[in-house]
A and B are shown apart, each in its own frame.
Chain A
Amino acid sequence: MQDIRLRTGCAFLLSLAAFASVPGAIAVSVWWIIFARPWRHLRSLRMLIPAVMLVAFFGIVLEFTGGGGVSYGVRMFAIILIGAWIYNEYRPGEFLHLGTWLLGNTTGFDLGMIAETGMQSLDLMVSDLGRIRQAYVIKTGRMGFRNFVPAGRILIHGALRRADETAELMAVRGFRGGGSGCPVFVTPVSDIIAAVAAVCMGIIAVVPVSEFFILYH
């Protein structure tokens, strides 16, 4: 999906649809298979494993304590898929364009820039994590669960240091807030089809499935 406006709108709608009900989550998963073209990002999908494991853990705990764990797991899994999709489809500068288009050159520009720096930081953290993993391979042969806390500490420290450097650099360059952006968007027909399909998934999530089948009545 090339148009960031439609992509963000779809992600918002699909996340709500997935969270609303299990049929919605299943419909969102089907949408993801058809329109997100997951086979293009198979390698990066491995990054989802820890998040999926975390959701599965809490789902199991919930199922055995108060019930509803399966429903929680299915819905959260669909939301994770949509999150992964929007992260993989992101191209630098898109959120700045979206913010400026949506809220103008002052608030929109600032919000867009915050989103951009956030995405950039996430990218760098993924890259940092790869290097930290390599450091553990060098020292101990592999990275285990007990290494997550020190690794997280290094990741956060690096992200904060970079944020500090970026802020100082922007201040030195005279940034006070706002800017001027001239957003340009490309909207192919395939994006519109995917967006319409996302709306349909949203309807499926909130309207009982039986309502679709006249013969049922």
Chain B
Amino acid sequence: MNVRLSGTIVNRGNWSLFADGVFDEGIHLVCGDVGSGKSTLALMMAGLLHPDTGTIGNSSIRSHIISFQFPEFHITGQDLAEECRSWNLDPAVILDAAGLAGREQTSPLDLSRGELKRLVLSCILAREYDLLVLDEPFSSLDCFEKARLCSILSERRNGITVIFTHEQSWFPRIDRIWEIEQGVLHDRGGLPDAVFRWKHAPAIVKDLVGKGKIPANVSRADLLEAVCRI
């Protein structure tokens, strides 16, 4: 199972993004500055945006989903129950998972962005997909929810998960790191070796690398373990 980007280019005026690489089964982390093209690449991988040149192919991907950075763009229902049903999911189960039980009649647009994010992520994570694309999944979430999301993602046994994020503290166990730099997608490789080439690495990872204490991965537990070795 994989997703292949073959010489894909997106042009928008003076801005462009070039991506070439293969995303195999596992959890991939894609980093980059604001405006570097993370959301564009996420849309492209989810099949919602076609590159100007190049092709996107896949092998054995039968189902895929994307979580948008802004959860309100997912909303199509008049109330929370209708919203859950628009995903073909049981409102009682989803609202309970999202911590919104008993609010079936509430309009999704009356929720805070954090609550809306919890709802949308609960809907998306309620099913198994071969390709799961998450654009800034940690934004608007508190630390408790970030930890819960990391735990759920780390438990995904099959399929390809691609996380596009600026997050600096909370990560699930990552298999491969990618970075977008100056309009080009770079493969930094698998962990733990990728931390040496990871330019957008969180400060704690850079400090650990500087002290020669290489974390096995970037999950909270792995970083704490590396810190304890100092």
Chain A interface (Cβ < 8 Å from any Cβ of B): 128, 131-132, 134-140, 147, 150-151, 153-154, 157-158
A140 surroundings in chain B (CB, below 8 A): 86
- Interface contact A135-B87, CB-CB below 8 Å: no
Distance (whole angstroms) from the CB of B121 to the closest CB of chain A: 14
Q: A135-B68, A139-B86 are in contact. Are A150 and B73 (CB under 8 A)?
A: no
A131 surroundings in chain B (CB, below 8 A): 68, 70, 73
- Interface contact B86-A134, CB-CB below 8 Å: no
- Interface contact A154-B75, CB-CB below 8 Å: yes
Interface residues on B, range: 10 to 19
The 8 closest A-B pairs by CB, nearest first: A131-B73, A134-B48, A135-B74, A157-B109, A139-B86, A135-B73, A150-B76, A154-B75
Partner of B76, one of A128, A135, A157, A158: A135
**Residue interface bits B109-133, CB-to-A below 8 A is 1, else 0:** 1000000000000000000000000
A134 surroundings in chain B (CB, below 8 A): 43, 48, 68, 73
**Residue interface bits B59-71, CB-to-A below 8 A is 1, else 0:** 0000001101010
Given A137-B48, A138-B65, A150-B76, 18 further pairs, Cβ under 8 A: A131-B68, A131-B70, A132-B73, A132-B76, A135-B73, A135-B74, A135-B76, A136-B76, A138-B48, A138-B66, A139-B76, A140-B86, A151-B76, A153-B78, A153-B109, A154-B72, A154-B75, A154-B109
- Interface contact B77-A158, CB-CB below 8 Å: no
Partner of A150, one of B43, B70, B78: B78
Chain B interface (Cβ < 8 Å from any Cβ of A): 43, 46, 48, 65-66, 68, 70, 72-78, 86-87, 109
B43 surroundings in chain A (CB, below 8 A): 134
B48 surroundings in chain A (CB, below 8 A): 134, 137-138
Distance (whole angstroms) from the CB of B116 to the closest CB of chain A: 12
Q: How far is the CA of A151 from the CA of B77 in the complex (A)?
A: 9
Q: How far is the CA of A158 from the CA of B113 in the complex (A)?
A: 12
Q: How far is the CA of A158 from the CA of B86 in the complex (A)?
A: 20
A147 surroundings in chain B (CB, below 8 A): 76
B73 surroundings in chain A (CB, below 8 A): 128, 131-132, 134-135
Q: What are 20 A-B pairs with beta-carbon distances under 8 A?
A: A131-B68, A131-B73, A134-B43, A134-B73, A135-B73, A135-B74, A135-B75, A136-B76, A137-B48, A138-B46, A138-B65, A138-B66, A139-B76, A139-B87, A140-B86, A150-B77, A151-B76, A153-B78, A154-B75, A154-B109
A136 surroundings in chain B (CB, below 8 A): 76
Q: How far is the CA of A79 from the CA of B210 in the complex (A)?
A: 65
A128 surroundings in chain B (CB, below 8 A): 73
Q: How far is the CA of A150 from the CA of B43 in the complex (A)?
A: 23
Q: How far is the CA of A34 from the CA of B77 in the complex (A)?
A: 45
